[in-house]
Amino acid sequence: MKKKLSIIIPAFNEEKNISHLVAELNKALNSTGYDYEYIFVNDGSKDNTLNEIKLQAEIQPNVFYIELSKNFGKDYALKAGIDMANGDAIITMDADLQHPPHLLPQMLKYWEEGYDIVYTYREDANPHVSGFQKLASKLFYKGINAISDITLENGISDFRLLDQKVVNELKQIDEYEIFFRGMVKWVGFLQIGIPYTPAARHTGEASYSFFKLAKLAIGSIMAFSVRPLYIATGLGLFFSLSALLYIPYIFISYFYGYDNLSGWASLIATVAFFGGLQLLVLGIIGSYLGKIFLQTKHRPNYIIRSTNLLKAKNDSVRV
């Protein structure tokens, strides 16, 4: 029997890219000798994306859609697709053609050689992102690597192949906040990376704003590390111990008759400084507490409004 590939594509306002992507993927996969299916996850698009996918599904019986009830974010859309896919391998990729389909044969080759995860990472010289974006991305990967127990390549992307056994593990993970790139590294297995140069977006704009990205970055770090909590404790300890050094100074200046009032300004400065430090530490602790709160509510990662995948028996399934 032929092995089956499930290609999972999260799509948010990608109406002009769908048909083009399907055509490109057909071209790349036709000659590989695998069965394959495309599972588009419509992540609450405001444009005609869903209809475009349905149109493709009418033309090609191996095109499927999962319509989420609103915009949940890319990682959640990916989770929705992965939970429903049953291929021998799963490939996740963007809808905007930034992930070059011509890498697919190489990915499949590694898979046949026995690798469980074939991931891709952007090569440094990427002509399509600004200098600021490059710097921000570099800082993010440096930060998350320094502070957590996983190591992510600079520019690691969501274009990857996952063997079924990896997918079965990923399906088990029940976390409120999902950072897929981290999770895929964390599960282990036999992994190999392929560098690539991303193409320009086929049409449309990248949909992540600066604040959305910053939130994502902080969230990802917090999802993979409690070390910021230890940093908070360390900072608190360091500054309170240093503050103790002030006591001998007060005694000495008293006995030698220095004018203590002259220390007023530095005193206020110190008080303000430690006030700020305490707020910072409380903030870090509070953020983790908030995450625990959200996790304990056990909300679903996503809600499906409709799908043409046979596995989903009725509409609006809660997963």
Q: Does 52 bind ligand UDP (CB under 6 A)?
A: no
Q: With 0-12 CB in 10 A as exposed, 13-18 as middle and 19+ as buried, what is 289?
A: exposed
Q: Does 43 bind ligand UDP (CB under 6 A)?
A: yes
Answer for the pair 85, 167: CB distance below 8 angstroms, yes or no: yes
Answer for the pair 46, 13: CB distance below 8 angstroms, yes or no: yes
- Amino acid 73 reads G
CB closer to ligand UDP, 109 vs 215: 215
Q: Does 96 bind Mg ion (CB under 5 A)?
A: yes
* 3-state class (DSSP) for residue 280: helix
Could you say which of ligand UDP, Mg ion, none residue 207 binds, taking C-beta under 5 to 8 angstroms by partner kind? ligand UDP
Kindly indicate which of the ranges 162-170, 176-184, 201-209, 265-273 contains the residues binding ligand UDP, using the contact rule CB under 6 A. Answer: 201-209
Give the phi and the psi of residue 202 in degrees, each rounded to 5: -60, -60
Q: Does 158 bind Mg ion (CB under 5 A)?
A: no
Could you say which of ligand UDP, Mg ion, none residue 15 binds, taking C-beta under 5 to 8 angstroms by partner kind? none
Mask for 60-89, x = binds ligand UDP (CB under 6 A): -----------x-xx--x------------
CB closer to Mg ion, 67 vs 96: 96
Give 222's contacts (C-beta < 8 A, 6+ positions apart).
Answer: 177, 228, 287, 288, 291
Q: Does 13 bind Mg ion (CB under 5 A)?
A: no
Q: Does 308 bind ligand UDP (CB under 6 A)?
A: no
CB closer to Mg ion, 94 vs 116: 94
The count of other CB atoms within 10 Å of the CB of residue 264 is: 9
Q: What gap in Å lies between CA 6 and CA 36, rounded to an integer?
A: 6
* Residues at the contact surface with ligand UDP, assessed by CB under 6 A: 10-12, 14, 43, 71, 73-74, 77, 94-96, 98, 206-208
